[in-house]
Amino acid sequence: GAGVSQSPSNKVTEKGKDVELRCDPISGHTALYWYRQSLGQGLEFLIYFQGNSAPDKSGLPSDRFSAERTGGSVSTLTIQRTQQEDSAVYLCASSLAGPWQFFGPGTRLTVL
């Protein structure tokens, strides 16, 4: 497809388990962003990749969160030892230049 895709669309896991969320950006987009959207907190920035530069991880809430971007395209967000407060919708966005970002549909994560 032409848009940003994310998988899975829904993920239910048990507290303490690790999860991986995947993002396929729009082809050719050099920038990729991860955000988290939860009730009461709105959309929060997590991490930002731009080309081959070191990622900006300043939004990651704890060291249980990490992300990588392979080959400048697909990105995976990993949450280790999930906690109930990690339950949220995780959104990925990509952009070619400037702040104009295109968002995927998100992955809804539920930690039981």
Partner 1 sequence: TQLLEQSPQFLSIQEGENLTVYCNSSSVFSSLQWYRQEPGEGPVLLVTVVTGGEVKKLKRLTFQFGDARKDSSLHITAAQPGDTGLYLCAGPRSDSGYALNFGKGTSLLVTP
Interacting residue ranges for partner 1, rule: CB under 8 A: 4, 31, 33, 35, 40-45, 48, 50, 56, 58-59, 91, 93, 95, 98-106
Between CA 72 and CA 95 the distance in angstroms is: 12
Q: Is the CB of residue 94 less than 8 Å from the CB of residue 32?
A: yes
Strands, E assignment, the chain: 5-7, 10-13, 19-24, 31-38, 42-50, 65-69, 75-79, 88-95, 102-103, 107-111
Name the nearest CA neighbour of 45 among 34, 55, 56, 54. Answer: 34
Taking the least distance from each CB to partner 1, the nearer of 37 and 76 is 37
Taking the least distance from each CB to partner 1, the nearer of 9 and 18 is 9
Rounded to a whole number of angstroms, the minimum distance from the CB of residue 81 to partner 1 is: 26
3-state DSSP assignment of residue 14: coil
Taking the least distance from each CB to partner 1, the nearer of 71 and 98 is 98
Rounded to a whole number of angstroms, the minimum distance from the CB of residue 3 to partner 1 is: 9
Rounded to a whole number of angstroms, the minimum distance from the CB of residue 105 to partner 1 is: 5
Distance of CA 76 to the CA centre of its chain: 7
Taking the least distance from each CB to partner 1, the nearer of 82 and 95 is 95
